[in-house]
Chain A
Amino acid sequence: SQQGEEDPQALSIQEGENATMNCSYKTSINNLQWYRQNSGRGLVHLILIRSNEREKHSGRLRVTLDTSKKSSSLLITASRAADTASYFCATDGYNNNDMRFGAGTRLTVKP
């Protein structure tokens, strides 16, 4: 069963704008990871944030985690057409490698 839900389900923006995607989950976690998936391909790891962290940055990506609200957000700044993809959050189960995924946010960046 899926653990989390991403919001919105789809997002369409212009190149150069920022994109914010949210993820909510149901149970306590150790880690939360964000992934990108281009159509029909494998998942590309973006960021891992641990339950004792509140914010992490990687290049144009900023991830926040609020464990009290069981939610996380992924911000992509200065978006590019190449950022067009589906974005998923995944939370760990009993151990890190039994992950639960949400349905994903489909991001379209228009040139």
Chain B
Amino acid sequence: KAGVTQTPRYLIKTRGQQVTLSCSPISGHRSVSWYQQTPGQGLQFLFEYFSETQRNKGNFPGRFSGRQFSNSRSEMNVSTLELGDSALYLCASSTDYDRVFFGPGTRLTVL
């Protein structure tokens, strides 16, 4: 099976812009979750989608949003980018209550 894929792998944006990141889960996985990784805060949970519904949300501002499509692919959007949004954004997929597999990440740099 192909693993979790994320596009793009690298992205450079400027403050105030918005960005959309894409994630394709492992075939058959209905749960997709997103994490932000920064040197200062480590790995932090953003949100999780299951069967097109947001099931859990972490402590991030409303500028961070996501959605999941009927084929389980997911996108996350960050609006009004801030310098502090520079991070590695990781997508993960799983069946329920089982191993969670991560993609390679999207490295976002905000200038």
Contact = CB atoms under 8 A, between A and B. Distances in A.
B88 interface: yes
Given A31-B97, A88-B43, A104-B42, A95 B104 contact: no
A98 B104 CA distance: 19
A96 B102 CA distance: 14
A30 B100 CA distance: 13
B63 interface: no
A40 B96 contact: no
Contacts of B99: 33, 45, 48
B103 interface: yes
B21 interface: no
B48 A98 contact: yes
A97 B92 contact: yes
Given A42-B90, A42-B104, A99 B45 contact: yes
Contact of A98 (B56, B88, B107): B56
A110 interface: no
A91 to B, nearest CB: 11
The majority secondary structure among interface residues of chain A is loop
Nearest to B43: A101
Nearest to A2: B42
Given A41-B104, A42-B104, A95 B42 contact: no
B interface bracket (residues with beta carbon within 8 Å of A): 20 to 34
A45 B101 contact: yes
A41 B59 CA distance: 24
A98 B33 contact: yes
A45 B102 contact: yes
A31 to B, nearest CB: 7
B104 A97 contact: no
A96 B94 contact: yes
Interface string A1-13: 1100000000000
Interface of A: 1-2, 30-31, 33, 35, 40-45, 48, 88, 90, 92-104
23 contacts: A1-B59, A30-B97, A31-B97, A33-B100, A41-B105, A42-B103, A43-B92, A43-B102, A45-B100, A45-B102, A48-B98, A48-B99, A92-B97, A95-B48, A96-B31, A96-B96, A97-B33, A97-B56, A97-B96, A98-B33, A99-B33, A99-B45, A103-B42
